[in-house]
């Protein structure tokens, strides 16, 4: 649900009963970067039964390691700097920590209102480290007026959330995880525009690790709690894919699902191909065929191996001539050898 600026800084009441229930009902969007996770977050953003954090919190990889051993006041100060700092972002007068996102603007949501609500939330429940994340997101919802009686769940999206499923379900047994899986060739074609230093070999290993974690999580925690959604299904048949997701989350269909937003404002998209988002489209599906060389695609297919097919994707480049398969194999072996030597030198 988008913010409505309904917050009053004079409020001193305890968090409502609804917020107390919401605290333990998160949705984590998981998956490899540039797989479509930002699109899913944007589709959920304005749904009246969801409180969707507008940015990646990086809670497990940034806040949590730094918070170990700190007292409450120090943890709250860390949360101010690493979780709710985004509410200082202003596109007209960018602050230092929005250097990579100069166009983002959350000035309509007062930072101090979120800060005070965060403290109110954590005073009501500080049972485990994860309560700081739920407190931050519910503080955003309360300060922005999105935490009304309709809200049933809160949503957070950060890359690689899948690696923390054990902790997620230990802290929040009612949690739901939505893991977005994308064809690794298309995923690489998009991702290398942001990280041109990533070799296809390194990407293939990283994608495989992320994908295997997703399938292992689903096997361990059950498909009723950990859902894997292929990006291609969302792109080709969005209504069917979204109906499947809302059933999984136990929320109602809402027209807002057809109009992606960020904090209630129209979402411009997250494409690495300079495309402004207009509607869910199948255009990005199969783009790798004219973005990657046959050798790069073959290397990715070779190094993702069985994980590629388990994910629902067919090796196409490798089905070509034998010479290409041999070149791909030699290149992959050479890269793995150099990587092993490099690691030995750093020990």
Each residue of 206-228: pLDDT tens digit? 999 999 999 999 999 999 999 99
Looking at residues 271-281, what average pLDDT do you find?
62
- Domain finish residue from 256, 276, 296: 276
Q: Any idea what the CATH number is for the domain that residue 173 is in?
A: 3.40.50
Residues 57 and 191 in one domain: no
- 260-265's contacts with Cβ under 8 Å and 24+ in sequence apart are 260/39, 260/42, 260/43, 260/45, 261/2, 261/42, 261/45, 261/46, 262/42, 262/45, 262/54, 263/2, 263/3, 263/45, 263/54, 263/106, 263/109, 263/144, 264/2, 264/3, 264/4, 264/45, 264/46, 265/2
- pLDDT per residue over 247-265, tens digit each? 999 999 999 998 888 887 8
Of the pLDDT bands very low, low, confident and very high (cuts 50, 70, 90), residue 271 is low
Residue 130 has pLDDT above 50, yes or no: yes
Q: Are residues 332 and 253 in the same domain?
A: no
* In the predicted structure, residue 4 carries a pLDDT above the cut 60: no
Does residue 20 surpass a pLDDT of 90? no
pLDDT value at residue 12: 42
Mean predicted lDDT score pLDDT of the chain: 90
- Whether the CB-CB separation of 158 and 59 falls below 8 Å is answered with yes
| Domain end point (choices 230, 247, 276) | 276
The pLDDT tens digits of the residues spanning 50-95 come to 999 999 999 999 999 999 999 999 999 999 999 999 999 999 999 9
**Residues 210, 105 share a domain:** no
* pLDDT tens-digit map of 150-163: 899 999 999 999 99
Same domain assignment for residues 84 and 156: yes
Residue with tokens 């070779």: 302
pLDDT at 173 over 90: yes
96 and 33 in a common domain: yes
- Is there a single domain that holds both residue 120 and residue 207? no
Full-model pTM: 0.91
The reply to whether 239 and 205 lie within a common domain is no
Are residue 256 and residue 197 in the same domain, yes or no? Answer: no
pLDDT at position 281 over 90: no
On whether both 266 and 125 belong to a single domain, the answer is yes
Q: Of 230, 251, 276, which residue constitutes the final position of a domain?
A: 276
Query: What number is the average pLDDT over the span 132-146?
Result: 92
- Percent of the chain at pLDDT exceeding 70: 91
Domain containing 237 equals 1-181+222-276
So what's the pLDDT on residue 265? 80
| pLDDT in the model for residue 341 | 85
pLDDT-derived band at 266, boundaries 50, 70, 90 = confident
Residues 88, 191 share a domain: no
Indicate if the pLDDT at residue 275 is higher than 70: no
The set of residues, in sequence order, having a beta carbon less than 8 Å from that of 277 and lying 6+ positions away, is 260, 267, 268, 269, 270, 271
Same domain, 231 and 332: no
- Whether residues 114 and 258 share a domain: the answer is yes
Checking if the pLDDT of 272 tops 60, the result is no
Total tally of structural domains belonging to the chain:
2
């Amino acid at each position: 649900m988008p913010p409505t600026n309904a917050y009053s800084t004079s409020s001193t009441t305890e968090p409502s009963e609804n917020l107390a229930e919401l605290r333990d009902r998160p949705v984590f969007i998981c998956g490899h970067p540039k797989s479509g996770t930002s699109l899913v977050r944007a589709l959920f953003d304005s749904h009246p039964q969801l409180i969707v954090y507008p940015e990646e919190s990086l809670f497990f990889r940034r806040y949590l390691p730094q918070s170990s051993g700190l007292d409450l006041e120090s943890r709250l100060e860390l949360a101010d700097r690493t979780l709710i700092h985004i509410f200082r972002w202003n596109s007209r007068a960018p602050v230092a920590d929005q250097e990579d996102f100069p166009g983002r603007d959350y000035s309509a949501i007062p930072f101090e209102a979120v800060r005070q609500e965060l403290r109110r939330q954590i005073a009501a429940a500080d049972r485990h480290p994860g309560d700081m994340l739920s407190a931050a997101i519910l503080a955003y919802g309360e300060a922005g007026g999105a935490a009304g009686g309709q809200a049933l769940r809160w949503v957070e999206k950060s890359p690689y959330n899948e690696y923390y499923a054990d902790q997620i379900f230990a802290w929040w047994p009612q949690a739901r995880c939505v893991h977005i899986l994308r064809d690794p060739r298309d995923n690489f074609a998009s991702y290398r525009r942001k990280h041109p230093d990533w070799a296809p070999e390194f990407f293939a290993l990283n994608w495989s690790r992320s994908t295997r974690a997703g399938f292992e999580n689903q096997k361990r925690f059950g498909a009723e709690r950990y859902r894997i959604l292929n990006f291609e299904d969302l792109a080709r048949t969005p209504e069917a894919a979204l109906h499947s997701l809302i059933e999984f989350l136990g929320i109602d269909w809402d027209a807002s699902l057809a109009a992606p937003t960020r904090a209630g404002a129209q979402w411009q998209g997250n494409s690495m191909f300079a495309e402004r988002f207009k509607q869910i489209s199948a255009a990005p599906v199969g783009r790798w065929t004219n973005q990657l060389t046959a050798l790069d695609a073959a290397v990715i297919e070779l190094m993702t191996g069985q994980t590629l097919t388990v994910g629902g994707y067919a090796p196409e480049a490798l089905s070509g001539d034998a010479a290409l398969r041999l070149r791909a194999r030699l290149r992959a072996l050479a890269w793995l050898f150099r990587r092993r030597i490099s690691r030995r030198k750093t020990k």
